[in-house]
Structure 1
């Protein structure tokens, strides 16, 4: 994995602003893995894992999140155990099989491509159904739409076991009232918000330096952050 520089992150942020989270994730990982053309086919959990690694390279290992208690609305702070998440799974096996309700089902872990087809395709539909490659009962093929609820639930549970980072959730406890609940962590949303905050700060710095010295944006961004800060401090004197 390579770490995009400041100018590259600004370009990614600019292009990704109108895009949904899945496409923002692919933008970031394409910059981190420019030699790979198969990122959209990675399991969602592995995509989340690589986004966590990229986030650590860009902003460090600590990730503190805030959540409102559903019971008393107290703001609860939690530090997410990011290193523990990275140990949760590497690239999981893509193809799996189960037997449920007398039916043999072959399925693959949901990918970014599946997610985009389910939400943006010409025939949007259930993400889970798109993961089912084949199903057979007594030698007769069964369409995904004809599978029973118990079989679909078994497939979903098997996916959760095989790819735990596809859906990241944390147990929360309110220190004020003791209420317990679960909250989801969407790492692409967290990372995108941090990139956005960084982009706005850098653009503000670029604007001040360009106005003061007439420098081009590309020249200012080519400077190290330390050097830019020295010029900004000089402007304050």
Structure 2
């Protein structure tokens, strides 16, 4: 069997791993070395490289992900299967359960129960995208725009908030920003999304809606033009564009 065949036959690397680094503390004769240990969630990608994400102080994966070459990964990272089973998996499971209960409570209109559950999840991982979206939507539904804005400020800094897996919550959040009168935030939010993907006609359509509600018709028309350039059959954008052109002509 060739090494290539062996690589395709084996299971892909996935789980919790640790890495160690030696740090020097003090100077001169008082210098001493300490070994610090970090834990990571690792997942092998289709190209044979490994994606790693650090575990936070609550021992759940959080923050930015990075990619390392397989050779480097095998030399620097050690598997920690017992730690995953005893500590990491229960923490992730409890956090996800809180998010699930929060989402059910929010959909049932029990906004204070929803807030409690989402906050519990964020105590474990303050960068959890689903929990942030859920809490932001909860605040908007309660009309607490200042608190909703705090969540918005957090979300626009998170690349993960604009990834495909969160598309449903991402769209709902953006629409609610606009509907609750937070037009500037809605525009910033959609502009941030455009940095991640330029080929989405619905982003341009939604920015156009927000500009229209701010009375900025030329910017509205500009984004409708971009939406239709990406999808000339976008029915809502077509109707909206015709309406806006008449408004502009009447000015």
Fold agreement, TM-score > 0.5: no
TM-score band w.r.t. shorter chain: under 0.3
Q: Whose helix fraction is larger, Structure 1's or Structure 2's?
A: 2
More contact order relative to length (CA 8 Å, sep ≥ 6) = 1
TM-score with structure 1 length normalisation?
Answer: 0.22
Structure exhibiting the larger radius of gyration computed from Cα positions: 2
